[in-house]
Amino acid sequence: MYLTTEAKKAIFKQHGGSEKNTGMAESQIALFTERINHLTGHLKVNKKDHGTEKALMTLVGKRKQLLAYLKMYDIERYRAIIGKLGLRK
């Protein structure tokens, strides 16, 4: 797989506070962003891979829902994760 366990732990540690804090919204958004970037690169090469395109749209929707949740309940955490990941909002 393209994302090893060590890479996932690094993402969770950087955005979630610790390696085992996998459920925090910021860590999930960071993981989704990493997967979205990978799938986007794959689709640039393989334009007719519709299964991957559907998976990408699903991930984008999940990330959007988590960002909406953060924006509604804690605007400072929302602004921080947008700034860290360089997302446009």
Model confidence band, residue 20 (pLDDT cutoffs 50, 70, 90) = confident
The Cα-based distances of 41 to 23, 46, 53, 56, 63 in angstroms read 26, 9, 11, 11, 18
Percent of the chain with pLDDT over 90: 75
Task: Indicate whether 1 pLDDT > 80.
Answer: no
Q: Which residues touch 80 (CB under 8 Å, ≥6 apart)?
A: 26
What are the pLDDT digits (tens) for 7-17?
Answer: 999 999 998 88
pTM score, whole prediction: 0.90
Total structural domains in the chain?
A: 1
In terms of residue numbers, what domain contains 20? 5-85
Domain CATH number, residue 78: 1.10.287.10
